Every structure is written in structure tokens, then in C-alpha cells.
Chains A and B, each alone.
Chain A
Amino acid sequence: MNVQQRVLAANDEAAAELRRGFRADRMLVVNLISSPGSGKTSLLEATVRALTGRVRMAALDGDIATERDADRLRAAGIPAHQILTGGACHLDARQVRTALEQAGMGKPDILFIENVGNLICPTSYDLGEDFKVAVLSVTEGEDKPFKYPAIFSRSEVTVITKSDLLPHVPFKLDEARAQVAALNPTGRLFVTSATSGEGIREWCDLLMERLEGKRRA
């Protein structure tokens, strides 16, 4: 018999329900996806430093086995809850729902979901987020966008991290920009460094802009 059904229909439904809840709460939800060690947590620490006092933030951290990232974000001063996936290479919408029920982190203005470190698997799983962010550090290859087109074409925002290291690594920034633009001509790209502070204000401005948009909607 003919069947027309999304394979991930069950996840898509759970994500749609989450999205309705986030909209009702006027909560901006950002799903950050990257390779391991690309500096997602450092980016979030810098974001928390820049936005503390202006908005309430919280984080869910997906990890296969450790609590390290959530510890760092709690130390930075925001509620953070670790989701241990027990080996799974991505977060799914049901895990996010369960985590939100357990975490008791109230209703932040911005919820960051730090996905499991991996550029492939998290791409297909909608978590009810407002947008995805692909995070790429200059210590990785500038050819990663073309190697992992799914995530770079679907992420409304690409954040390049560790820009302070650019003088010391072979990373070709123009090439990375060209590849992201080819896959995603309407996407935004920020070049940032949690160390020097480059680009953090612009990235935070985007978050505030999107939060205002959600409050008006």
C-alpha cells in the first residue's frame, strides 16, 4: 500500500507541541549544533556575560555521558540542565520535553539547547526551536560547510568561533563564508571570539532582535 509519511513524524509532532508551548510563553529557543570542541559552551558563557541583567536565560545541554557543559553554564550564572543521551548522537523532541518537565528552570526569555557534539545526526531532529545555529571554530576546516551541507543549509545562523586564533591557524575565512553563502544565501554569519569579544555584541543583538520579534508576534 502507498504510505505518505515522514519517517520522523513522531518527533515532528512532539516538536510542534513544544513550539506551541514556547510561543505561548514568548520564549526564544535556539538549537546550537557543532562538532565536539567547537566552543559552543564558551560562546554561551560569553553570551551570558553580555546579556545578564537584560534577559533571563537557561540552557539544556545534550551530552552522551558527562555533566561538564551544564556545570560550566551554572557557574556562569544561569540554570542549566544536562540531558544524558546514553549514547545517542542527537537530542530529540521528547527528550527536550522530559528535560523541561524535570529541570524546573521556570520560564526563561531565551532557552539555549546545546545539542550533542556532532554535525550530522542532530540536523534531522526538530526540537521546536525558533532557529538552528551551526557553530564552526577556526581550528576546524573551512571546507566543513560543503562537507556537511545539511546543517549549514538549514541553520538560519552560522557562528564562527575562536576568531582570535585566526592568525595562528590555516583557516580560510573567505572560503568558509563563500561555502555558507552558497548553501544558505539568506543566512546570517557571525565571526566571534569568546576570548577577545569580537562579534559577541552583534550575535547578542540578533538574539535580542529575535526575542523582541517573538514577544510582538
Chain B
Amino acid sequence: MHELGVATEIHRACRRTMESHGPGRIEEVRVAVGELSAVEPELLQFAWQAVTAGTPDEGSRLEVEWRPARQTCLKCGEVAERGAGSWLRLCPRCESPLRVEGGDELDILHLSFTPDDVQEPAP
């Protein structure tokens, strides 16, 4: 389980971004997590609570946008249907090999924080 390490990196990156804005605390961070990033959203949220506990960012929210990978057919190009977490061996229409696209995301998308001298979160 490396969600703790990933949460630490997210926290560090957010803190670096905030540095130029003076002291403050994180309200919410939104991240994109791809299906192939080997990160479990729920574990990441637990890890976020653990990482921010005892810091000014304790109680902040980590929102996860889940980005599934797509299996596409090399021949008919269509996105093949599959259930969540299950994979197709061949294209159900033409039995051609499939390609896996996307699902690599592990990105910070949005950060909202409240500077210490202001009451409302920064946009």
C-alpha cells in the first residue's frame, strides 16, 4: 500500500503551491486517479486524513475523480464494453486485439485554501 506516500506527495505539492500566498490552511484538494495508477481512492482518502492530522490542514477534504482506462479495438476502433474492474480478452464484435488507453492519471486538479487573514476560501 503506497497511498500514504502518495498522500504525502499531494500534501507536499499543495503546500508548495500555497507558499507564495502566505500562511493558510487547505480546505479541499481535488485529484484525478486513473484506474491504472495503482491507487485505491478510499485508501487515499484515509491516508489523507492521516497525513494532515495534527497539521493546519487537519479536517480538509480530498476529492477523488476516478478515471477509468478504456479498451479499444485495433480494428473497429470502438470502445469495447466492459464491466468495472473486468477486462476483455478480445473485441466482442470482431475478435481483434484490444488496446488499453488512459487510466494513467494521478494528478492534482484543484486546490482551495483559506489564507489565515481571510474568512472565505480562495477560488
Question: A-side interface residues toward B, CB under 8 Å?
Answer: 1-11, 88-90, 120-121, 123-124, 146, 149-151, 153-154, 178-179, 181-185
Contacts and interface: CB of A to CB of B under 8 A. Distances in A.
A184 B74 CA distance: 12
Contacts, number: 96
A143 to B, nearest CB: 10
12 contacts: A2-B109, A2-B110, A6-B108, A7-B9, A7-B107, A124-B37, A146-B86, A182-B87, A182-B88, A183-B87, A184-B100, A185-B99
Interface in B107-123: 107-112, 122-123
Contacts of B98: 182, 185
A132 to B, nearest CB: 13
Given A121-B1, A179-B87, A4 B37 contact: no
Contacts of A149: 35-36, 69, 87, 100
A124 B36 CA distance: 9
Given A1-B17, A7-B106, A149-B100, 19 more contacts: A2-B109, A3-B14, A7-B6, A9-B13, A10-B13, A88-B5, A120-B38, A123-B38, A124-B37, A124-B39, A146-B86, A149-B35, A149-B36, A149-B87, A150-B36, A153-B36, A182-B89, A182-B90, A182-B98
Nearest to A11: B9
Given A89-B1, A124-B37, A149-B36, A7 B10 contact: yes
Contact of B2 (A2, A124, A181): A124
A33 to B, nearest CB: 11
A136 to B, nearest CB: 16
A89 B38 CA distance: 12
A150 B102 CA distance: 11
A181 B88 CA distance: 10
A153 B108 contact: no
Contact of B107 (A5, A151, A185): A5
A160 to B, nearest CB: 17
Contacts of A7: 6, 9-10, 13, 31, 106-108
